[in-house]
Amino acid sequence: MLTRRKTLELALPIIAAQAATATTGIVDTAVMGRFGDKADLAAVAIAAVAYSFIYWGFGFLRMSTTGLSAQAAGREDEAEKRAVLLRALSLGGAIGLTLLILSPILKPLAFAAFGSTEHVETLAGAYFTARIWGAPAYLMGLAVTGWMLGTGRTGQMLAFQIVMNGVNAGLDTWFVARLGLGPAGIGAGTAIAEWTALLFGLALVFPAFRGAAPLFDRARLTALFSANRDIMIRTLALVLCFGWFVRSGTLISTAVTAGNEVLLQFITVAAFVLDGFAFVAEKEAGEAYGANSAPRLARAMRLTSEFALIAGLAFALLYFLGGGWVITTFVRDVEARDAALAYLPYCALVPLIGIVPWQLDGLFLGTTQGRALRNAGVAVAVLYIGTDLILRPAFGNTGVWVAFLLMYLYRGAALGLYVPGLFRRLQPAAKSA
């Protein structure tokens, strides 16, 4: 049975791993803020969002792997639990190789919607070209971390992220600060770090390669692709929201784009850390769903949400009180710094209002409710973009941020509509038990 102590034991390594993951973007932004100008910051922001469109669209490799491996664990099906990993690794490698081959086509498409200056787009393109070589490693790494999470190997997940982000931080500093490679150096450092982490992760999970169920089980593959399709659509819808947020900044000015990028790193840190509790919810929800236990599912959501609420409040206060110091310390460009400081209060609200959608994401991902996630994601994207189109022309960047905050409320409300139905499906089993 899940307890508060066990929740913390599972969550703390995940939180540490997520914090390590978040440092990728933080290091990129800090290095560019210290050794570049607003054009360099804007280029990294645009390129990072472009990669979000590409990579996050395949985030199902992590999400479905976690849910399916946790459900197999709940059924005590060890052979299938191992097969989930091998299927995800194979799929991730194939997709990553395809992205690498298609990169000359993908690059102009990725930047077409941002409307940035020619100089910024050139810098962003250099980042893209360097980083794309890490695509197969990154996507296979999603499968590895998803399986580690779904099977409760949170310590291994932490080690994986420490290796990746340690290598990334070291290479970013060397390539940019010492060699002067700019955004291209950021991209190259990240790609090398992704390959290094993958090799390390494969060494950790190698014992799972033995004794797996058949990889090409038709029913299992059908379930995998069905879940992955819906989760992919949901994820692309959310990435569209973040991409639209960055695009809205570019329509105002380069300084606003850079300032918003700095604040996005604050949000990334909070989201990644608070996702530690959502990931525990995801694992425990998957096991409860596999065991067909509604009480177990409810308990997992209640205990993880308690801690998430406390942590969210702590982050909000930390950003309100200390965020300004971080910005003034690490952002050299005056215009970018002023833009970030002006909208810091809006940014500080995200850790609080984001708790509900993040926790519900964990619930529906762990139970592989792809249709609910897909429908909610598409609805949120439509509502958010519509809100931004109304508010931005009238209120500038203030309207951009108000629409962005409302997006989190839309996410929570849209997913919340599906919660009663999920529990009703498990209720008969709970009563018969």
Evaluated on CA atoms 25, 285, 349, 114, the torsion sign reads positive
* Residue 43: closest CA among 53, 29, 30, 55: 29
CA angle 231, 237, 240 (to 5 degrees): 140
- pLDDT for 361: 93
* Residue keyed to tokens 């850790």: 351
SS3 annotation, 417-429 = CCHHHHHHHHHHH
Residues 181 and 114: their CA atoms lie apart, in Å, by 23
Element (H, E) at 430: helix 419-432
- pLDDT for 106: 78
- pLDDT for 111: 67
- pLDDT for 224: 67
pLDDT digit string, tens, across residues 415-433: 999 999 988 887 654 444 4
76: left (phi over 0), alpha (psi -120 to 50) or beta: left
- pLDDT for 431: 47
- B/e letters for 64-77, b = 16+ CB within 10 Å, e = fewer, are bbbbbbbbbbbeeb
- pLDDT for 375: 95
pLDDT digit string, tens, across residues 250-261: 889 888 988 998
- pLDDT for 357: 95
CA angle 412, 283, 240 (to 5 degrees): 40
Residues 12 and 371: their CA atoms lie apart, in Å, by 30
- pLDDT for 216: 66
Yes or no: say if 323 and 276 are a contact pair by the CB < 8 Å rule: no
- pLDDT for 250: 85
Tell me the pTM.
0.74
What stretches in the chain show pLDDT beneath 50? 429-433
Helix, strand, coil shares of the chain, percent, nearest 5, are: 90, 0, 10
Residues 179 and 171: their CA atoms lie apart, in Å, by 10
SS3 annotation, 102-154 = HHHHHHHHHHCCCCCCHHHHHHHHHHHHHHHHHHHHHHHHHHHHHHHHHCCCH
